[in-house]
Chains A and B, each alone.
Chain A
């Protein structure tokens, strides 16, 4: 068995409350590495593509990686992989911090959960020093029903012990909201509804604790690599994340007419400055936090209201939450956006899908297609009320909890043409007409419209393409970003390091060699990345994917962006880009 791995995963049946250790051979690990890649491979082996994602037999995988537990900066990450209840396609969401390290120390390279517990439960996976394999037990969790993610985690650690690391769902996961998250340490495996998959298994939280460490093939080399990478992580390539966080995108995107506003009716928001980190920093206190093992520290936490008892009430602020709950809903009051963001975190809701679905409903009201007159663009009260209704699946929240695509089918009229989604996943904060390489990335994304699995926006913000009039030459660049993301999500290292690497594949090969002992090369890892992308597509094909899914909503096609007429994407051009993408992928 290669170093860096345990060489097995734990398959946990929560119906029976039992676990089986399943061996993983070297070839499989070398071909799929860990994280997203390993998770997809395990789902394929399990035949998960044809299963209802909310059925008891649907597997949910927490996949670690060879780098987890190493001193390499940002490597404490895990992937949650399943069939998405929102898209009915592959879903891999990543989150960070101590759960990854503690979970791997339970003795497996992944945890797979199947079945459905008889009652709402906490799944405890624990391993003590003398044991070769982790034990599992189910603890009744009736007392946690309705508890927020944060409350669940803090109470469980108080109950079980501080050495446990907890991943939990909030009320939205219990209610099977199709874009519910799984939360750990304030971060979320956010997209695609993995929280609903866990909720459908009657599992409120997973608590992990273990002592089984893997060995590194070349520990001295690994230590030297880690020091060097940490040093470089303090340089200009990560300054943006350290100093302002992802929120700095807001004014930049607004300047380029690429900030989605009022359900993608515009690419500029007149009050964007109110939501910018520059404004937030000038008007509130701020602290920064990092994930375990991370030297970047991208989390910028802004105060909400005056201090109470000497402590500030802080909210983590990310660009995607600011855009989705701010400009997309026409909200300019930063207090409202911060409150909405925190409430989504508490309920366990993906902020992008929540904001996207609410903004869609607001436009439906504006057009007279939905009789909820209170639900108006710009109304902070409406935004906060809608979030509560979604989290509890009451009133119009029952429809909106299904996501914008299913909501459009329920609302009717021509609403599907303005539902901001691809394959059912709500579009992140990148206006496709102004960023057309990203438009392609959204259209072909295996998990739907997605900025984490395709970094094609980077191509648009470069001299490689004309972002508002891309040609077929953009396709190879889009594929390159998708491949690189697949490898980063499987090793796993944080994408915020991407600017630090001069030759990512070559450096990744060196890291992997130090950890595993494999004679990995850059060329091999390029093939590995393509293999992982292909595995996701194979899953989708088995799940019923058709080429017609690789497109964008009608709103974005043939109609220029109102505030930037040069930003126009024809249906023919998108079709050509998609066809060329599949040709180059060999499909």
Chain B
């Protein structure tokens, strides 16, 4: 599956996107946290820090670590305070 970083998460990750294997949102975040230590401010365990948000395929916003993910899914990680 794909992960796409936007805004500050992209700054932290140092890349715009990457491919990751994960079956749930929680697994995905734990994997990202171990592969990209610079995301420490963005990810806390198997959840995002409240200042950041995850979106599935540009459709629904997801926060439950147990949310299932498929191989073709794309998870967007962005700042929660859109706008301004």
B-binding residues in A (CB < 8 A): 235-237, 239-241, 243-244, 246, 248-249, 251-253, 255-257, 278, 319, 430, 451, 455, 457-458, 460-463, 466, 495-496, 498-499
Contact = CB atoms under 8 A, between A and B. Distances in A.
Given A237-B81, A246-B84, A251-B6, A463 B51 contact: no
B47 to A, nearest CB: 13
A451 B58 contact: no
Contacts of B10: 278
B38 to A, nearest CB: 12
B6 A240 contact: no
Given A244-B7, A455-B83, A496-B84, A252 B42 contact: no
Contact of A458 (B7, B49, B83): B83
B81 A236 contact: no
Q: List the 7 shortest-distance A-B pairs measured between CB atoms, nearest first.
A: A461-B82, A463-B61, A248-B7, A457-B83, A236-B51, A240-B79, A246-B84
Contact of B8 (A239, A255, A460): A239
Given A239-B41, A244-B11, A252-B7, A457 B60 contact: no
Contacts of A495: 84
Given A236-B41, A236-B42, A249 B82 contact: yes
Contact of A248 (B42, B61, B76, B79): B79
B83 A249 contact: yes
Contact of A251 (B7, B51, B81): B7
22 contacts: A235-B51, A236-B42, A237-B50, A239-B41, A239-B79, A240-B7, A244-B8, A246-B83, A248-B8, A248-B79, A249-B83, A252-B79, A252-B82, A255-B58, A256-B58, A319-B84, A451-B83, A451-B84, A458-B82, A461-B53, A461-B82, A499-B50
A456 B79 CA distance: 16
Contacts of A499: 50-51, 80-81
A241 B6 CA distance: 14
Interface centre among A246, A248, A496, by most chain B C-beta atoms within 10 angstroms, is A248
Contacts of B60: 463, 466
A495 B6 CA distance: 21
A455 B82 CA distance: 9
B30 interface: no
B80 A462 contact: yes
Interface in B2-32: 4, 6-8, 10-11
Contacts of A278: 10
- Interface residue tally of chain B, by bracket? 20 to 34
Nearest to B54: A463
B62 interface: yes
Contacts of A243: 8, 11
Identify the interface centre among B41, B58, B76: most chain A CB within 10 Å of its CB. Answer: B58
A487 B81 CA distance: 18
Contacts of B75: none
A472 B50 CA distance: 25
Contacts of A255: 4, 6, 58, 76
Interface string B45-84: 0000111110100101111000000000000101111111
A4 B49 CA distance: 36
Contacts of B6: 248, 251-252, 255
A579 B53 CA distance: 31
Contacts of B58: 255-257
Nearest to A428: B83
Contacts of A235: 51
B74 to A, nearest CB: 10
A319 B81 CA distance: 14
A252 B7 CA distance: 7
A241 B82 CA distance: 11
A246 B79 CA distance: 11
Contacts of A462: 53, 61, 80
Given A244-B8, A461-B61, A463-B60, 8 more contacts: A236-B41, A240-B7, A248-B6, A451-B84, A463-B62, A499-B50, A499-B51, A499-B80
A462 B62 CA distance: 8
A462 B52 CA distance: 10
Given A236-B41, A255-B4, A430 B81 contact: no
Contacts of A246: 83-84
A319 B84 CA distance: 8
A319 to B, nearest CB: 7
Most buried by A among B4, B8, B42, B81: B81
A85 B11 CA distance: 42
A241 B11 CA distance: 13
Contact of B49 (A236, A251, A430): A236
Contacts of A496: 84
A240 B60 CA distance: 22
Given A463-B62, A466-B60, A252 B78 contact: yes
A578 B67 CA distance: 33
